[in-house]
Structure formats: C-alpha cells, structure tokens
Amino acid sequence: AQKITQTQPGMFVQEKEAVTLDCTYDTSDPSYGLFWYKQPSSGEMIFLIYQGSYDQQNATEGRYSLNFQKARKSANLVISASQLGDSAMYFCAMRMTDSSYKLIFGSGTRLLVRP
C-alpha cells in the first residue's frame, strides 16, 4: 500500500535561513507523483511544488526546491531564505498511480519562522 511519512511534527527556523522538511514515501509502483502543499492558519491548501518519479532533476519553484532521492524514497522540501510568511503547516502528498488521481497525505509539519 502507498504511504507518506512526515516525521517532524514541528520545526523552527530563523528568518532568512534555509530549512528542510522531511518526507518519505512507500510505493511499489514505478510511476508516481509527489507534491508539497502549504496550509496557512486560514485553512487553504496552497500547491508549492511537484516531482515526478521519472524526473531526472530535482524540482525547483522560486525559494522552494525538492530534494528527491529515489533510492531512499525521500522527497524533502527545502525552503531557502525563510520569511515570516512561511510559518504554516506543510503537507507532503503522493498521487495514487491508478487512474483515480487521488492524493494521500502525510501528517504534516508545522513550521514556525522566528524573526
């Protein structure tokens, strides 16, 4: 069965520094997609970045990058130059490899950026 694990319930980072949020996954399928979402206190889910299992390079989107280590089945999110507005919950998710396109989510990591 497919599974997403986020082992860090909470993280602190100093403003302007970089932070890595961990995500490991488990699947036996060769084709899959991995996503990171940000959820501020308002409750909305904001898509940040995507990594496909066949992508040769790590995904990057502005200050967000994904450290994809396929052999280790990890897809860690790196946020560079943290800002106060980055304080939020962060969820890692994996798309089911059947035709349903369903997402399964990890338990999330709460990031707090200190001024």
> Residue 32, interface with other proteins (CB under 8 A)?
no
Position among 27, 66, 94, 106 found at the interface with other proteins (CB under 8 A): 106
Footprint of other proteins on residues 33-62 (CB under 8 A)?
A: 33, 35, 37, 42-47, 50, 52
CA torsion angle for 39, 45, 49, 50 (degrees, to 10)? 130
Q: Tell whether residue 108 is a contact of other proteins (CB under 8 A).
A: yes
Task: Return the structure tokens found at 84.
Answer: 């106060």
Q: Can residue 112 be called a binding residue for other proteins (CB under 8 A)?
A: no
The backbone torsions φ and ψ at residue 72, rounded to the nearest 5 degrees and listed phi first, read -90, -5
Size of residue set near other proteins by CB under 8 A: 22
Q: Which two tokens stand for residue 29?
A: 């399928």
Please state the closest distance from residue 17 (CB atom) to other proteins, in A: 27
Residues near other proteins (CB under 8 A):
33, 35, 37, 42-47, 50, 52, 91, 95, 100-108
